[in-house]
Structure 1
Amino acid sequence: MNILDWIQDWFKENCDGDWEHGEVIQITTIDNPGWEVEIDISNTSIATMNLDWILNETNKQDWYGVKIANQKFTAAGDPGKLKFLLGLFKEMIDKIENQQE
């Protein structure tokens, strides 16, 4: 399953009549240049998780960062990292769900 199919399914599974009325998933461009992904995790298995900003930077054209705070997953990266950033979110969800089984 590709990452866009997965994120669509994840969104649909978490819709509860209320949560989806907010700005649940936002994908925007940033001026570095690059991408920023913000996902509301208040209705998810990782809602209580916190992660300080982690920056992985090889150079100005190869970087990404991620954090979880205030029930929001936030990741940013260079122009070639959009699928990777969404994949980071999927990895976190999969890891937590596997630990709960």
Structure 2
Amino acid sequence: MSLLKWLEDWFNQNCDGDWEHCEGIRIATLDNPGWFIQISLIDTDIEGKYFKPLKIERSDFDWIHCNVEDGIFKGFGGVRNLEEILDVFRVWALCE
């Protein structure tokens, strides 16, 4: 299954009439340039699951920083690292 299809399915599974109005997924750009991803874990089956903060810095343009704070998965990365950030989320979300 493609990463984007998996994220669509994960989002759909958590939509319950309320969650998608107050929580959800946000993908935005940074001005350095890069990406910022915010995925609410509140009222999902992975709320409260431990996430070890991750920092990978290969170069000024190839980097990712991911953490979970206040029930929100936050991922930041370089301009070509969007898919990698989303994959970090998927691997973590699927891991027992």
TM-score (norm 1): 0.86
Instruction: Determine helix, strand or coil for the equivalent of 2:13.
Output: helix
Deviation at 1:32, TM superposition (A): 1.7
- Tell me, yes or no, if structure 1 residue 38 matches structure 2 residue 38: yes
Structure 1 residues 52 and 87, CA, compared in 2 at 3 Å: closer, same or farther? Answer: closer
- Tell me, yes or no, if structure 1 residue 20 matches structure 2 residue 25: no
TM-score (norm 2): 0.91
Query: Distance in 1 between the 2:51 and 2:29 partners?
Result: 22
Deviation at 1:45, TM superposition (A): 2.2
Deviation at 1:83, TM superposition (A): 1.1
Query: Distance in 2 between the 1:4 and 1:22 partners?
Result: 22
Equivalences, count:
96
Bigger drift between 21-30 and 66-75 goes to: 21-30
Amino acid at match of 1:54: L
Q: Which segments of 5 or more consecutive residues in structure 2 lack a partner in the other structure?
A: none
Percent identity of paired positions between Structure 1 and Structure 2: 35
Instruction: Determine helix, strand or coil for the equivalent of 1:88.
Output: helix
Give the superposed CA RMSD.
1.4
Q: Which segments of 5 or more consecutive residues in structure 1 lack a partner in the other structure?
A: none
Specify the alignment match of 1:48 in structure 2: 48
Specify the alignment match of 2:84 in structure 1: 84
Deviation at 1:53, TM superposition (A): 4.3
Structure 1 residues 59 and 72, CA, compared in 2 at 3 Å: closer, same or farther? Answer: same
Bigger drift between 21-30 and 68-77 goes to: 21-30
